[in-house]
C-alpha cells in the first residue's frame, strides 16, 4: 500500500502554529494525508516564557489551534509515527511542497502558505470566548467593534533585546510616530494596547497617549495569544511591532489599515497585502 502520510513538526506561538498548519493544508490540497507532531510543546514549550527572557512569570506554550479554530480538522501523529518518520523521512527544504510522501517536515523552510489560506483561516477563526457574553473578553471585543479602534501590538518578552532574526527591539520613536499619524488621520481614534509586558507598556507607551483615549488590554496572558490575535484582528487600524501577531491580524481583514516597522514593509509589498 502506498504511504501517503506527511507529518509536520509544530512549535512556537499561535502565529507560528498557523504557518505550520497552512503548509499542511497545502499538502492536503495535493491529496496527501497530513498529521502534526506536537512533541515540542511537551519537551520545550513548558515554561518557555519566563523571567529569564523578559516575562513577569512562567508561562507555557501550548498547541492553541483547536482553541482558535475549533472547527478546523487537524490530525495528530502518534509517538510511534513521529519516531519512525523522523528517523526515515526527515526533510527541511525550501521547496518542501514539491516533495512527495512519506515525509517528516522537521524545520521552518517552505512555510509560505499562510497568505494563500488567509481567507480559509479567517472563516474558521472562532474561539469559544466570542460567545461568552458576560466575560471580559467579550466586553472588550464589543468595545473594539464599536469604536474607531487602533490596535497596537507591542512585542516584548524574548524580543525585548537584540534578536538574531528580528534585530533590535521596535523603538519608542516608531510607536510615537504611528500614534501621532493615526491621531492625525482620525481624532476619534481609541488605542488598544496588546503586549506581553504590561508593566513596560505602562511606563513607556502610556505616556505617549496621555492626551488620547487608550486602554491597556491585559485580560489575556501570554499563554492566550490567540485571543489577543482575535481582538487585534477586529481593530480598524493595526500597528505591528516585532513578531508576527500584528501581521497575522491583518491577514484576516483586508479592509483595515496596517502600520508596521520598516523591517516588515518589504515583506508586505512582496505579499501584496
pLDDT, average across residues 87-100:
97
CB crowding 215-231: b at 16 or more within 10 Å, else e: ebbeebbbebbbbbbbb
Based on the structure, what is the number of domains in the chain?
2
Please state, in angstroms and rounded to a whole number, the distance separating the CA atoms of residues 121 and 20: 13
87 lies in the same domain as 116: yes
The SS3 assignment for 150 reads: strand
171 lies in the same domain as 98: no
- pLDDT of 240: 85
- DSSP secondary-structure letter at 169? P
For residue 251, give Cα distances in angstroms to 60, 115, 122, 175: 26, 7, 8, 21
CATH of the domain at 240: 3.40.50.11350
pTM of the model: 0.86
pLDDT tens per residue, range 46-73: 877 766 766 667 778 899 999 999 999 9
Cis previous bond, 102, omega within 30? yes
116 lies in the same domain as 165: no
Amino acid at each position: 500500500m502506498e504511504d501517503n502520510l506527511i507529518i509536520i513538526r509544530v512549535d512556537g506561538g499561535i502565529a507560528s502554529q498557523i504557518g505550520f498548519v497552512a503548509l499542511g493544508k497545502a499538502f492536503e490540497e495535493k491529496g496527501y494525508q497530513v498529521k502534526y507532531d506536537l512533541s515540542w510543546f511537551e519537551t520545550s514549550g513548558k515554561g518557555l516564557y519566563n523571567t529569564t527572557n523578559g516575562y513577569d512569570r512562567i508561562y507555557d506554550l501550548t498547541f492553541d489551534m483547536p482553541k482558535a479554530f475549533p472547527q478546523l480538522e487537524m490530525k495528530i501523529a502518534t509517538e510511534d509515527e513521529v519516531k519512525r518518520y523522523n528517523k526515515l523521512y526527515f526533510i527541511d527544504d525550501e521547496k518542501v511542497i514539491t516533495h512527495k510522501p512519506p515525509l517528516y517536515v522537521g524545520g521552518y523552510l517552505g512555510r509560505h502558505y499562510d497568505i494563500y489560506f488567509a481567507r480559509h483561516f479567517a472563516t474558521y477563526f472562532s474561539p469559544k470566548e466570542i460567545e461568552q457574553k458576560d466575560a471580559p473578553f467579550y466586553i472588550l471585543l464589543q468595545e473594539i467593534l464599536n469604536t474607531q479602534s487602533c490596535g497596537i501590538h507591542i512585542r516584548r518578552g524574548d524580543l525585548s533585546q537584540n534578536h538574531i532574526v528580528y534585530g533590535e527591539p521596535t523603538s519608542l520613536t516608531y510607536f510615537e510616530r504611528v500614534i501621532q499619524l493615526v491621531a492625525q488621520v482620525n481624532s476619534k481614534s481609541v488605542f488598544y494596547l496588546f503586549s506581553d509586558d504590561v508593566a513596560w507598556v505602562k511606563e513607556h507607551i502610556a505616556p505617549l497617549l496621555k492626551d488620547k483615549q487608550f486602554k491597556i488590554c491585559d485580560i489575556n496572558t501570554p499563554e492566550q495569544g490567540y485571543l489577543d490575535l482575535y481582538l487585534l484582528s477586529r481593530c480598524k487600524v493595526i500597528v505591528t511591532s516585532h513578531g508576527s501577531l500584528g501581521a497575522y491580524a491583518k491577514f484576516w481583514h483586508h479592509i483595515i489599515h496596517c502600520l508596521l516597522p520598516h523591517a516588515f514593509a518589504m515583506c508586505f509589498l512582496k505579499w501584496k497585502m
